[in-house]
């Protein structure tokens, strides 16, 4: 299958194969765990149209490092954060990425918090 590409710099139109221009949406999901080693605890799920990186980090410093590194190397489009990230943490990540990447936070409702709260308390702080 062929497509048409207009080169704005040279004002040329050229025919290209669409395989040349298919790009995946790239996102990273980051969660916290006190015993995490982000250099070990990470993974990539790739469908062709979507790349989902997952990382478990110990702290905010590691989260920012992962985000900056992935943006530099992979030009990620979105950062998805677990509910353990505070509003301040989110703002620091947005700032570290210079507002070039969408940053989203997963937040549960009241009943969800009642289910996960005791487990998190036991595993992380118990």
Residue span of the structural domain in which 79 resides: 24-125
What are the tens digits of pLDDT across the range 65-84?
A: 999 999 999 999 999 999 88
Which pLDDT score, from 0 to 100, does residue 119 have?
85
Is residue 16 included in any domain, yes or no? no
Q: Domain total for the chain? A: 1
CB-count exposure of residue 84 (10 Å: 0-12, 13-18, 19+): middle
Q: What is the CATH number of the domain that holds 31?
A: 3.40.50
Which pLDDT score, from 0 to 100, does residue 66 have?
98
Is residue 91 included in any domain, yes or no? yes
Is residue 8 included in any domain, yes or no? no
Is residue 69 included in any domain, yes or no? yes
Is residue 37 included in any domain, yes or no? yes
Is residue 76 included in any domain, yes or no? yes
* 37 contacts: CB under 8 Å, gap ≥ 6: 58
| Sites in the chain below the pLDDT cut of 70 | 1-22
Which pLDDT score, from 0 to 100, does residue 87 have?
94
């Amino acid at each position: 299958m062929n497509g048409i590409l207009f080169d704005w710099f040279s004002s040329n139109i050229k025919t290209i194969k669409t395989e040349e221009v298919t790009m995946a949406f790239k996102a990273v999901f980051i969660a916290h765990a006190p015993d995490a080693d982000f250099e070990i605890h990470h993974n990539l799920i790739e469908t062709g149209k979507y790349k989902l990186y997952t990382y478990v980090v110990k702290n905010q410093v590691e989260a920012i490092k992962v985000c900056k590194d992935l943006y530099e190397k992979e030009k990620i489009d979105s950062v998805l954060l677990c509910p353990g990230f505070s509003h301040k943490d989110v703002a620091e990540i947005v700032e570290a990425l210079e507002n070039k990447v969408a940053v989203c936070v997963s937040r549960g409702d009241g009943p969800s918090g009642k289910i996960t709260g005791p487990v998190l308390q036991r595993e992380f702080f118990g």
